[in-house]
Amino acid sequence: MKIAIASDFHLGYERFRSDAFRQAETALEMASKEADAIIIPGDIFDMRNPKPDVLAEAINLFRNLSKKEWRATAIDVSAASKAYTDVPILAIPGTHERRAKGAENPVNLLGLAGLLVDISDGAATLEKDGEKVLVYGIGGVSEERFLDTIKTLDPKPLAGHFSIFMFHQSAYELLPFSDDFIHLEQLPEGFDLYVNGHIHNRVEKKVHGKHFLIPGSTVLTQLKDAEQEEKGFFVFDTKAGTYSFHKIPSRRFVVVKIEADGKDADGLTNDIKKGIESAVGNDTGIPVVRVEISGSMKKGVRSIDLDAQGIIKEHAGRAIVEIAKPGVEESIENDTDVASLRKGSLENMSVKDYGLGIFIEKLKNGKYDLGISPSELFEMLSDEGTKEKTVKKALEELFSN
């Protein structure tokens, strides 16, 4: 059986909303032609409470897929949510869709509508011509709860099935940022394939001697170095035990690195413009170009003297330009964080995850112990809705016992 693995569509992402929808649609349409089934390891949406028009886009996208004559069927679903379709599109919610305990998430809503099968905290079997593939899924949870969740659910492969373990989390080997991140060796053993979302660049590794794959996001979001690669999805052949990466048309992203090297504003401006022109090249689309400036400008010259906005406006219509001025790193106070950033160990971490890590560390240092995990408190305090309702809910959870 051929299984397509596509992830992190981030539908509704405001900056590149049309890109997010168009590239997700392209990936899913291509995958439906190349594969017998599709599995999605999280972050279909960019937010926990998508706007109605974003939900409508997702519904239309998956409705079109559900009408296709699929070669495989989803059967034997045993998960947190009931299945209302046998369409072989299996998904789990990611960290962007994670909500406070007891609240519905938007992936679950697509499942309730019968447009896909939400296999959070459970499994489903894909069947085609007598071949059976088990997919066990655990949706995105707070990092410090993931290992306990694995121990509680105790996911296991199924005899006579090609077994896949699908999740949506950070991993210490990929993001050596927090001791709460799971180590890959702690993933349940015995599965034939391990699939993860969350990381926005492509990853191909081995876990317990088996393939471990992350397809990366289908849309630009974080504008990190690793996102310069082409977007797409994997197709895994369960009989051959091999896989291939399928590229999709996507907006190009280029990082241009410029050395200040004692230059004045005019000299640095010229170098930046040359770098942008080289990055744009003959691109018929409108690429995103991020200019990163390192080193120090000429003594007495301030970064404010560089007319970044003028450069950005000059290239409008040909490129979306971002300029990180010299001295930005000086605003980071923690030496450890600076060292990690320079080593690139935080390259793939989102702002939200970075903030969550700092939040957890501060509470731990303050000997926090109020009966609710720091991550769950973070989710409550950052939940959409009025400030009064959010604070009230958090307080009730903290002091209900």
pLDDT digits (tens, 9 = 90+) for 176-202: 878 889 999 999 999 999 999 999 999
Q: What is the pLDDT of residue 389?
A: 57
pLDDT beyond 60 at 347: no
Q: Span 154-171, mean pLDDT?
A: 97
DSSP-derived letter for residue 300 is T
Q: Span 362-390, mean pLDDT?
A: 60
* Neighbouring-strand partners of residue 290: 255, 322
Q: What is the pLDDT of residue 335?
A: 42
Distance of CA 386 to the CA centre of its chain: 27
Contact 50, 142 (CB under 8 A): no
Q: What sign has the CA pseudo-torsion 281, 253, 23, 216?
A: positive
Q: What is the pLDDT of residue 299?
A: 86
User: What is the spatial distance between Cα 193 and Cα 170, in angstroms, rounded to a whole number?
Assistant: 17
User: What is the spatial distance between Cα 107 and Cα 374, in angstroms, rounded to a whole number?
Assistant: 24
pLDDT beyond 50 at 214: yes
Are residue 210 and residue 91 in the same domain, yes or no?
yes
pLDDT beyond 80 at 380: no
Q: Which domain holds residue 362?
A: 340-399
Q: What is the pLDDT of residue 392?
A: 58
Total domains in the chain come to 3
Q: What is the pLDDT of residue 381?
A: 61
Are residue 282 and residue 182 in the same domain, yes or no?
no
pLDDT beyond 60 at 213: yes
Q: Span 241-259, mean pLDDT?
A: 96
Are residue 266 and residue 238 in the same domain, yes or no?
no
Contact 292, 325 (CB under 8 A): no
Band of the pLDDT at 331, cuts 50, 70, 90? very low
**Residue 280: both structure tokens together:** 């744009």
> In the predicted model, what is the mean pLDDT of the chain?
86
Compute the CA torsion angle 42, 353, 147, 166 (nearest 10 deg): 20
Bigger pLDDT: 255 vs 178: 255
For the chain, first and last CA: distance in Å? 50
Are residue 214 and residue 269 in the same domain, yes or no?
no
Contact 205, 185 (CB under 8 A): no
Q: What is the pLDDT of residue 45?
A: 97
Q: What is the pLDDT of residue 369?
A: 63
Bigger pLDDT: 340 vs 71: 71
Lowest-pLDDT range, 198-207, 240-249, 251-260, 337-346?
A: 337-346
Are residue 167 and residue 139 in the same domain, yes or no?
yes
Q: At a CB cut-off of 8 Å and minimum separation 6, what does 356 contact?
A: 143, 375, 378
**Residue 275: both structure tokens together:** 């770098």
* Neighbouring-strand partners of residue 125: 75, 134
Bigger pLDDT: 372 vs 221: 221
Q: What sign has the CA pseudo-torsion 213, 216, 217, 219?
A: negative
Are residue 223 and residue 271 in the same domain, yes or no?
no
Q: Which tens digit of pLDDT belongs to each residue from 15-53?
A: 999 999 999 999 999 999 999 999 999 999 999 899 999
Q: What is the pLDDT of residue 394?
A: 55
Claim: this prediction has a pTM higher than 0.85? no
**Residue 72: both structure tokens together:** 């495989």
Out of 209, 230, 247, a domain closes at 247
Band of the pLDDT at 99, cuts 50, 70, 90? low
> Which ranges of 35-178 does DSSP label H, i.e. alpha helix?
52-66, 106-112, 143-153
**Residue 130: both structure tokens together:** 């007598």
Out of 247, 280, 304, a domain closes at 247
Could you tell me the CA-to-CA distances from 260 to 97, 257, 280, 338 in Å, in that order? 41, 10, 21, 19
Q: What is the pLDDT of residue 359?
A: 66
Out of 302, 331, 360, a domain closes at 331
pLDDT beyond 90 at 303: no
How many Cβ atoms sit within 10 Å of the Cβ of residue 237? Answer: 14
Could you tell me the CA-to-CA distances from 75 to 90, 129, 167 in Å, in that order? 11, 13, 20
Bigger pLDDT: 145 vs 73: 73
Are residue 185 and residue 274 in the same domain, yes or no?
no
